[in-house]
Copies of this chain bind each other. A is one copy, B any other.
Amino acid sequence: MSSVIKARITVTLKNGVLDPQGKAIEHALSGMGFNGVGQVRQGKVFDVELAESNKAKAEADLKAMCDKLLANTVIENYAVEIA
């Protein structure tokens, strides 16, 4: 039975990059009566299963997936956490 590695990839906007969705959420929350709402920034998470036993190989593959598909590295950062 091959082992499965479970990982979470979190992709967030780099500092200084405008986040119109985050702004819209800030306004919506204030409009709903939530006081003291400061900055809201929205990002993405990907929970990925990999048929891989070597953690280092899995991490390298996951980073390559971010670089090639899951993140726009011009404006986004990504973090890979292996469970």
Contact = CB atoms under 8 A, between A and B. Distances in A.
Contacts of A68: 32
A42 interface: yes
Interface residues of A, number: 34
**Copies held by the complex:** 2
Interface of A: 2, 4, 10, 12, 22, 25, 28-29, 32, 34-52, 61, 64-65, 68-70
A42 B1 CA distance: 26
A69 B4 contact: no
A35 B2 CA distance: 13
Given A35-B51, A36-B50, A40-B47, 7 more contacts: A12-B47, A22-B46, A37-B50, A38-B48, A38-B49, A41-B46, A43-B46
